[in-house]
Every structure is written in C-alpha cells, then in structure tokens.
Amino acid sequence: MNTGIAADRGKACQDLVRAARAIVDAEGPTDAALGKIRDLLVALAGRGEALFPRGDFALPDGGGRNHPLELEDGDGMGLYLTINMPGKEAAPHDHGIWCVNAAISGRELNRFFRRVGETGVEAINEVMVEPGSGMYMTEHAIHDTLVVGDEPSWGLALYGYALIRFPSVVWFHPEFGTMRASPSRRPAEAA
C-alpha cells in the first residue's frame, strides 16, 4: 500500500465525513441535505484510482465486502468502500437509518419500494448507481440492489450510523408476502 495515497485517502474521507456532519447538524437528514451529501460523495468517488487503488482493498470472498474508511466517534456516521461481485443482489430492505452511495466503478441497480399492507412492498422507482452518479435513502426508505454487468461494483457508502451500530434492518420477501427483522446492533441506551 502506498502510504502517500493512504494518507491522502484518509484526509479526503475525514473531510467528507466532517462536511456531511455539518450538513446533517444544520439541516437534519432531509432530502435536500442528503442530496448535498450525495453530490460530495460522488465527487469523492470520482477521484477513483487516485485515492482508492484496487490493490489497497481485498476482494470479497463471497458476494460483497465493506472496508471501513472513516468512522465517527461515539454514535456517529460510518464511511465505507464497498465491493460487490457481479450478480450480487439484496432483497428489499429498510436500513432504519439514512444512507448515501456513490459509484467508483461498476454498476448497481437500486430499486425503491413503498410498503403495501403489513408485509408487502411495491416498486416505485429505480436508480442505476454508476460512475458519476449516486443515490440516497432517507431513514425508512426501502430498496433492493443488484450488481449488473460483468464487473464488480466499487463504491462509497456513508451511513448515519457505523455498521457496527446499525439498527434493526427489515427485509421484505414479496414473493412470499413475508418480512423479517435482523437484530439491532445498537446499544440499549442508544436505541
């Protein structure tokens, strides 16, 4: 690993999280605020190989992998480099917290849903996250993902909480009309 690139990457990631924190503290996690953060994340992802050379990050053993880049202290945000292999998909789910994604390379289809009844979902929109673009989700938005094409998707993901402090994620299974919730990783006092 080139220590100069690692130092530049660390500073750029710290600056991004600081800017995102200032936006959220001033405006809350509104659509407008998350749109501003998405634009900052797209710009950072646009620096591609200069900051995120492939040799610095291990490929996933399975479908995907998250590499922590910058984690705020306490109950703060988490910024990750994500690598997902071609064909990797995730069923519709609600993170329970806002998130913003931007592509470095590859393509990931994100479909968005609204709830229908107790356990159902209905597709309402889709966004292709590819170089030069990104997407954001508010706290209880529902999406699914699919890596399309023959190349892995490399991207940046910023979450309102670090993954180790994620709230319960609700997964929807439209083909069965069911849903399930994963356990919360939030400390009891923070939940």
Domains of the chain plus CATH, in order, are 3-181 (2.60.120.10)
pTM over 0.75: yes
Burial 62-76 (b: 16+ CB within 10 A, else e): eebbeeebbbbeeeb
Contact 85, 29 (CB under 8 A): no
What whole-number distance in Å separates Cα of residue 13 and Cα of residue 81?
10
Determine the straight-line distance between the first and last CA of the chain, rounded to whole angstroms.
Answer: 38
Backbone φ and ψ for 84, nearest 5 degrees, come out as -125, 135
Instruction: Give the model confidence (pLDDT) of 57-109 as tens digits.
Output: 998 888 889 999 999 998 899 999 999 999 999 999 998 899 999 999 999 99
| pLDDT, position 175 | 83
Whether the predicted pLDDT of 5 surpasses 80: yes
The 10s digit of each residue's pLDDT in 19-67 is 999 999 999 999 999 999 999 999 999 999 999 999 999 988 888 899 9
Give tens-digit pLDDT for 121-136. Answer: 999 999 999 999 999 9
Q: List helix spans (H) across the chain.
A: 3-27, 31-45, 48-51
| pLDDT at 1 > cutoff 80 | no
**Residue 160 CB coordination number (10 Å):** 23
Q: How far apart are CA 24 and CA 36, in angstroms?
A: 10
Place of tokens 């399975």: 62
DSSP β-ladder status, 89-94 and 120-129:
unpaired
| pLDDT in the model for residue 129 | 98
Query: In the predicted model, is pLDDT for residue 189 greater than 80?
Result: no
Query: What pLDDT is recorded for position 63?
Result: 84
